[in-house]
Structure 1
């Protein structure tokens, strides 16, 4: 669980880059995925790991590209807080997907988590008027959450036969390939990043993408995709706090209420994920992630 929470904190920091970078969402994600793929490839080569990809990883890369474009579009439309809260809807989508695929039967606890997540989202928007930029931003955020749920479910299967680093490497590489033609036609395609923005993209790609993505995928070998997705609902808490501190974006009372509900959902899922005590696991020096 430690690696999962660290990954979530880094993902929360990533939301701030949507406010710091005056670039189209596609350009941000293209730079992010290219830097992350190069960093992971260099690490894999240094450790003499296999760099072979396949169709499953290519498909995940396309979903990852859509997820991050929607994520940054949400932040640029309505701010860091709204984008992060919309994204945090993915525990609900994960539950729906796992049930549809027959991977789990919903328990009462799962439905409690779903209710908490939906209530948290509903408290975020002042109205449900599509002309309101907050509503449009939340819609982008929910799309980001739905696509991330797809990744969580698929990555749990891939993690059984592949290393977390190889999954993160190829998903970022294929995401970048998918976005190259899109970036050529996206509005604002002629905008070139400044030196400062290039530096921010490198930090975003290495720390908040390569490292965070590897840690998150690695955690899926120890917990269910649903539990991982709900714990990751803590991301808005980290992101909103940092946005208030570093960007000066003050959350509304509704956003704070939404955060509280999402934290409650994460606590419910985290407690359910804790393994029962086993005397055979109490050997000195043995640690559980």
Structure 2
């Protein structure tokens, strides 16, 4: 829905990002108490209240800025390249996560889990798929520009994901999301506020949907789903996002993807789904009991 709403909202990417963040903050402030009443709140292990310290504040600021870059470039990609190009470009985040983790391990020896061959295979396959999708090598081409913005969106999202997993993993994820959105709203205010008066009522309604349902509610539901699902299985579902977006854009806006886009998209989605599925199956296998040599 994010890509679809980015097309429907008649405003620039700065306004969309600002509006999404504001309504997401409201949603992420209201939804958790409702989940608590319904008995679907995150488990106790994820409810660390983590008092706000200077160090934690800088972490929220850094991850919030990365989130702002991710959203702005994604909506620029939607506006210039279309929903299919934007979502497939964003799908590069899986490959970027592998590369970022590898760089961190190389710089800080022994920091983190070694990159597996399946991760490198996924990165290679995704790269091939992205090469197929690339419309032209001319930066003046609007679709190519949109695709590059989609790649930057994927890179910034990957950087934020790695940052969160390494430095914010102990904090309640809904609280992290809310505070990151606060940062996004503050950062984008200077760019968005001067043009808010030109935004139509219809676009404001779509911004509410984008912020409340596609950000606040979706994040809360994702966190709650992890009580019943392994993260690999949840990731398997999320990996299909480009499929939903492309089909919806095809039906709603007649954005018919080219043969190269379809081929590249199938390769990218196949790589993400295949690796996620194999990891999910691996976690289902019982761990053999080992006896101590002592």
TM-score of the superposition, structure 1-length normalised?
0.81
- The 1-side partners of 2:183 and 2:200 are apart by 25
Alpha-carbon distance change, 244 to 191 in structure 1, aligned in 2, over 3 angstroms: farther
Q: Say if 2:72 is the partner of 1:69.
A: yes
Alpha-carbon distance change, 228 to 88 in structure 1, aligned in 2, over 3 angstroms: farther
Computing the radius of gyration from Cα coordinates, the structure with the larger value is 2
- The 2-side partners of 1:86 and 1:33 are apart by 22
Q: Please give the secondary structure, in 2, of the residue aligned with 1:123.
A: helix
Deviation at 1:158, TM superposition (A): 4.9
Deviation at 1:214, TM superposition (A): 3.8
Deviation at 1:28, TM superposition (A): 0.5
Count of residues paired in the alignment: 263
Q: Say if 2:29 is the partner of 1:41.
A: yes
Deviation at 1:139, TM superposition (A): 0.7
TM-score of the superposition, structure 2-length normalised?
0.80
Partner of 2:109: none
Q: Does the 8 Å CA contact 1:124/1:254 hold for their aligned counterparts?
A: yes
RMSD: 2.8
Unaligned runs of at least 5 residues, structure 2: 38-46, 106-111, 289-294
Q: Please give the secondary structure, in 2, of the residue aligned with 1:249.
A: coil
Q: Does the 8 Å CA contact 1:91/1:229 hold for their aligned counterparts?
A: no
- 1:197 aligned residue (182, 188, 203): 203
Unaligned runs of at least 5 residues, structure 1: 1-12, 281-289
Deviation at 1:219, TM superposition (A): 7.5
In the TM superposition, what whole-angstrom CA distance separates every residue of 1:26-84 from its partner, at most 9, and x where no partner exists?
A: 00010001000011112346659869654112221111111100000011011111111
Superposed, which structure 2 residues align to 1:3-152 within 5 Å? 13-44=1-32, 53=52, 54-55=56-57, 56-102=59-105, 103-152=112-161
Alpha-carbon distance change, 220 to 181 in structure 1, aligned in 2, over 3 angstroms: farther
Q: Say if 2:286 is the partner of 1:278.
A: yes
